[in-house]
């Protein structure tokens, strides 16, 4: 007769189960991940960094005449914002591939196309936010500007201001509490409007007192001298305001990381690192780092783009063959989920929440209002992952996004599953998701790396 121990499912803290060696590896891995975070604050930077790490490990940009023998390492990029990488496996590709798909865009404030204006002696940038943000979190916080500007003559300026210790930063102001009586009566959603998220960037005038827009002129002068820009160049620019500064250890014990963009760089780095480290995969291993997840995965650099079919048809020798390969493939949609927050227990149901330090969080389904807009993975799919992870010492847990009807969300999972690829969501649990600084546990990040690597190296 089975005893209590056997019958009950007991959830465990990874610190109680992890080996000393693995814990040391997890903390070393966290150090690498923090470096990736610091060099990859935008989708373009993440793609550039991924390509540079991959090339360092012998990956080559794909060309049609390339021989794709077992062990070949290739990649291709889409508009510098999405990257597909693959290690060719020992078995024929028609037997299916193993995919981890993560995204490298994060919520932020984009500059509008005509952003620069002056008001009462102060210069500002108008912004249009990207992705789901709580607007009140983005005021009185040091911001950095990252992005590219295409000048009138077609040349390009790469811009990063606010990350170096000697750089200035930018900021959105807020009302002082002394005059906040009316503001405080408003709801969180009403008190800060998207149109009011204006970034302060100058106060020093140039020229004669009687002239207008003297601060704006001085700002343009600086941009012209440093980057050769004129105001019209903002029309063809992508400048993103993100929280300034580096990823930091969080907590006295240094067990967590506070940083901008854990969603979804924690999974993107795990997928990338796992591919770079994968030893002689039997099936071809594919890593997708995609753009535009935060705004619906649309467009040529999003997960719905035909660019993925294009890449896979290269590997499979034609689009028709890619379709057959998809039907035998497996995809981990590697994305973060919400971690249970003891300070906000009401929105979650404890038996079905991910917790910090309990490992890689598997989400059978996402969606909202009765799982709508979700890839609801099958029992067989969860069963496969369960055996895979258990056999490879991957600490994992299951979760769903909050209580039933509390809200909802989605990932790229359904776009992979719509291609006839067996797909499941799994990733790192995050506290304060979509805030300027998000929180993850080092052990959880490492378990996601281990989980994805076990898929790439699977023997089953
Ligand atoms: Mn995400
Ligand atoms: Mn997100």
The per-residue pLDDT for range 93-146, each reduced to its tens digit, is 999 999 999 999 999 999 999 999 999 999 999 999 999 999 999 999 999 999
Q: What is the pLDDT of residue 449?
A: 98
Q: Cα(4) to centroid of ligand 1, in Å? A: 38
Task: Show the tokens assigned to 353.
Answer: 């929440």
Dist CA 90 CA 68 (whole Å): 11
Tallying the residues shown for the chain, one arrives at 460
Q: Cα(393) to centroid of ligand 2, in Å? A: 28
pLDDT tens digits for 314-327? 999 888 899 999 99
The residue-averaged pLDDT of 227-256 equals 98
Judged by its nearest atom, the ligand closest to the C-alpha of residue 427 is 1
Q: Cα(246) to centroid of ligand 2, in Å? A: 20
Q: Cα(406) to centroid of ligand 1, in Å? A: 18
The residue-averaged pLDDT of 286-304 equals 97
Judged by its nearest atom, the ligand closest to the C-alpha of residue 303 is 1
What are 409's strand-pairing partners?
Answer: 367
Q: Cα(264) to centroid of ligand 2, in Å? A: 7
The residue-averaged pLDDT of 75-98 equals 97
pLDDT tens digits for 190-224? 999 999 999 999 999 999 999 999 999 999 999 99
Q: Cα(336) to centroid of ligand 1, in Å? A: 5
pLDDT tens digits for 417-450? 999 999 999 999 999 999 999 999 999 999 999 9
Dist CA 256 CA 250 (whole Å): 5
Judged by its nearest atom, the ligand closest to the C-alpha of residue 267 is 1
Q: Cα(1) to centroid of ligand 1, in Å? A: 44
405 pLDDT higher than 90: no
Q: Cα(342) to centroid of ligand 2, in Å? A: 21
Dist CA 443 CA 54 (whole Å): 24
pLDDT tens digits for 145-154? 999 999 999 9
240 pLDDT higher than 90: yes
Q: What is the pLDDT of residue 319?
A: 84
CA 258 and chain centroid, separation: 14
To the nearest whole percent, how much of the chain has pLDDT over 90? 92
Q: Cα(410) to centroid of ligand 2, in Å? A: 8
333 confidence band (pLDDT: 50, 70, 90): very high
Which domains are seen in the chain, by residue range?
4-106+260-456 (3.40.630.10), 108-243 (2.30.250.10)
Q: What is the pLDDT of residue 73?
A: 97
Judged by its nearest atom, the ligand closest to the C-alpha of residue 411 is 1
Dist CA 350 CA 345 (whole Å): 8
Q: Cα(140) to centroid of ligand 2, in Å? A: 22
Q: What is the pLDDT of residue 407?
A: 86
What's the chain's average pLDDT? Answer: 96
Q: What is the pLDDT of residue 231?
A: 98
65 pLDDT higher than 90: no
Q: Cα(423) to centroid of ligand 1, in Å? A: 16
Q: Cα(263) to centroid of ligand 1, in Å? A: 5
Q: Cα(277) to centroid of ligand 1, in Å? A: 23
Q: Cα(409) to centroid of ligand 2, in Å? A: 8
Q: Cα(290) to centroid of ligand 2, in Å? A: 13
Dihedral (CA of 149, 173, 171, 202) sign: positive
Does residue 65 sit in helix, strand or coil?
coil
To the nearest whole percent, how much of the chain has pLDDT over 70? 100
Q: Cα(334) to centroid of ligand 2, in Å? A: 12
Burial class of residue 80, CB neighbours in 10 A (0-12, 13-18, 19+): middle
Q: Cα(302) to centroid of ligand 1, in Å? A: 13
DSSP-derived letter for residue 105 is: -
Judged by its nearest atom, the ligand closest to the C-alpha of residue 131 is 2
The residue-averaged pLDDT of 154-165 equals 97
Q: Cα(445) to centroid of ligand 1, in Å? A: 14
Dist CA 401 CA 376 (whole Å): 13
Task: Show the tokens assigned to 256.
Answer: 């967590």
Judged by its nearest atom, the ligand closest to the C-alpha of residue 412 is 1
The residue-averaged pLDDT of 230-239 equals 98
Q: Cα(255) to centroid of ligand 1, in Å? A: 22
Q: What is the pLDDT of residue 375?
A: 86
- Contact status, residue 157 vs residue 228, Cβ threshold 8 Å: yes
410 pLDDT higher than 90: no
251 confidence band (pLDDT: 50, 70, 90): very high
Q: Cα(337) to centroid of ligand 1, in Å? A: 7
Q: What is the pLDDT of residue 139?
A: 98
């Amino acid at each position: 007769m089975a005893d209590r121990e056997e019958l009950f499912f007991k959830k465990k803290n990874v610190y109680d189960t992890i080996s000393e060696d693995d814990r040391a590896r997890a903390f070393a891995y966290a150090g690498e991940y923090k470096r990736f975070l610091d060099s990859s604050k935008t989708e373009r930077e993440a793609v550039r960094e991924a390509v540079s790490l991959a090339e360092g490990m012998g990956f080559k940009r794909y060309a049609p005449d390339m021989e794709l023998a077992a062990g070949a390492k290739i990649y291709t990029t889409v508009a510098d914002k999405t990257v597909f990488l693959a290690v060719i496996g020992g078995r024929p590709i028609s037997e299916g591939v193993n995919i981890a798909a993560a995204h490298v865009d994060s919520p932020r404030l984009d500059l509008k196309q005509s952003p620069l204006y002056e008001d009462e002696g102060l210069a500002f940038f108008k912004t249009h936010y990207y992705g789901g943000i709580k607007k009140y979190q983005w005021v009185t916080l040091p911001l950095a500007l990252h992005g590219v500007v295409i000048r009138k003559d077609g040349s390009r300026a790469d811009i990063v201001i606010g990350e170096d210790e000697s750089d200035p930063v930018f900021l959105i102001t807020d009302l002082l509490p002394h005059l906040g009586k009316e503001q405080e009566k408003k709801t969180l959603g009403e008190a800060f409007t998207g149109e009011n998220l204006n970034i302060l960037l100058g106060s020093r005038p140039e020229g004669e007192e009687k002239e207008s827009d003297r601060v704006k002129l001085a700002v343009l002068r600086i941009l012209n001298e440093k980057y050769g820009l004129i105001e019209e160049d903002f029309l063809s620019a992508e400048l993103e305001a993100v929280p300034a500064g580096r990823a930091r250890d969080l907590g006295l014990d240094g067990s967590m990381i506070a940083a901008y963009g854990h969603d979804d760089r924690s999974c993107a780095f795990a997928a990338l690192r796992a591919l770079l480290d994968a030893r002689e995969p039997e099936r071809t291993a594919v890593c997708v780092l995609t753009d535009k997840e935060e705004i619906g995965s649309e467009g040529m650099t999003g997960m719905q783009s035909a660019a993925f079919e294009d890449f896979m048809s290269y590997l499979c020798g034609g689009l028709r063959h890619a379709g057959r390969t998809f039907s035998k493939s497996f995809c981990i949609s590697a994305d973060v989920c919400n971690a249970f927050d003891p300070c906000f227990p009401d929105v979650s149901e404890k038996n079905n929440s991910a917790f910090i330090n309990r490992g890689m969080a598997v989400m059978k389904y996402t969606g909202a209002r009765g799982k709508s807009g979700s890839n609801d993975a099958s029992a067989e799919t969860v069963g496969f992952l369960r055996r895979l992870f258990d056999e490879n010492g991957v600490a994992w847990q299951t979760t769903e996004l909050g209580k039933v009807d509390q809200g909802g969300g989605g990932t790229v999972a359904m776009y992979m599953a719509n291609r006839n690829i067996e797909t499941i969501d799994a990733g790192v649990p995050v506290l304060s998701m979509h805030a300027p600084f998000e929180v993850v546990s080092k052990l959880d990040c490492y378990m996601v790396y281990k989980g994805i690597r076990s898929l790439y190296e699977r023997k089953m």
